[in-house]
């Protein structure tokens, strides 16, 4: 992954919850196999104070340093908004060739009341979406 990459980038969406490291590792493996540049996005569902926003960015950077040690800092994105809208807009802005998301097992009641960002992205995206099932028992 260098600045000379001409392939459309893969957009990895991380929520920094359980399974994020697993998802990041799957993305790293896929990006290497396909020789795709990688961008990483973390969406904050509400605007945060600068210190809180910085904390989220630092958590994202720490995770990415362990899995993608050579990833340039300008490929890490933290944005505010409705996750599926931000993901779709970012993928369009970057002209991503693939959006990569994780899916956790949710109880039926939680799926009904919480909704699913992954389902929304799949239905809204005008580009390929790869969904990796995650084990929710580890970070």
pLDDT at 1: 41
pLDDT at 106: 66
pLDDT at 138: 45
3-state secondary structure of 118: helix
| pLDDT tens readout for residues 59-74 | 999 999 999 999 999 9
DSSP class per residue in 32-88: HHHT--EEEEEEESS---HHHHHHHHHHHHHHHHHH-TT--GGGEEEEES-HHHHHH
pLDDT at 12: 98
Q: Do the beta carbons of residue 91 and residue 41 sit within 8 Å?
A: no
| pLDDT tens readout for residues 93-105 | 999 999 999 988 7
Query: In whole angstroms, what is the distance from residue 132 CA to residue 23 CA?
Result: 7
Query: In whole angstroms, what is the distance from residue 123 CA to residue 38 CA?
Result: 22
Look at residues 99, 95, 2, 1 and name the one whose alpha carbon lies nearest to residue 41.
Answer: 99
- Domains within the chain, CATH numbers bracketed: 10-134 (3.40.50.620)
Query: In whole angstroms, what is the distance from residue 64 CA to residue 115 CA?
Result: 27
Extract the tokens encoding 40. 């990483």
For residue 127, give every residue at least 6 positions away whose Cβ sits within 8 Å of its Cβ, in sequence order, or none.
Answer: 91, 96, 97, 98, 99
pLDDT at 4: 46
| pLDDT tens-digit profile, the chain (139 residues) | 444 446 899 999 999 988 999 999 999 999 999 999 999 999 998 877 878 889 999 999 999 999 999 999 999 999 999 999 999 999 999 999 999 999 887 666 555 555 688 889 999 999 999 999 887 554 4
Q: pTM of the full predicted structure?
A: 0.86
Query: In whole angstroms, what is the distance from residue 90 CA to residue 97 CA?
Result: 12
């Amino acid at each position: 992954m260098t600045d000379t990459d001409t392939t459309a980038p893969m957009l990895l969406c991380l929520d920094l919850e359980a399974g994020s490291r697993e998802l990041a590792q799957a993305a790293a493996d896929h990006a290497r196999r396909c020789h795709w540049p990688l961008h990483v996005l973390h969406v904050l569902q509400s605007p945060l104070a600068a210190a809180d926003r910085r904390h989220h960015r630092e958590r994202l950077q720490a995770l990415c340093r362990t899995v993608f040690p050579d990833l340039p800092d300008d490929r890490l994105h933290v944005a505010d908004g409705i996750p599926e809208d931000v993901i779709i807009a970012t993928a369009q802005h970057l002209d991503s060739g693939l959006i990569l998301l994780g899916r956790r097992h949710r109880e039926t009641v939680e799926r009904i009341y919480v909704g699913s960002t992954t389902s929304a992205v799949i239905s809204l995206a005008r580009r390929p979406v790869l969904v990796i099932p995650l084990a929710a028992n580890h970070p």
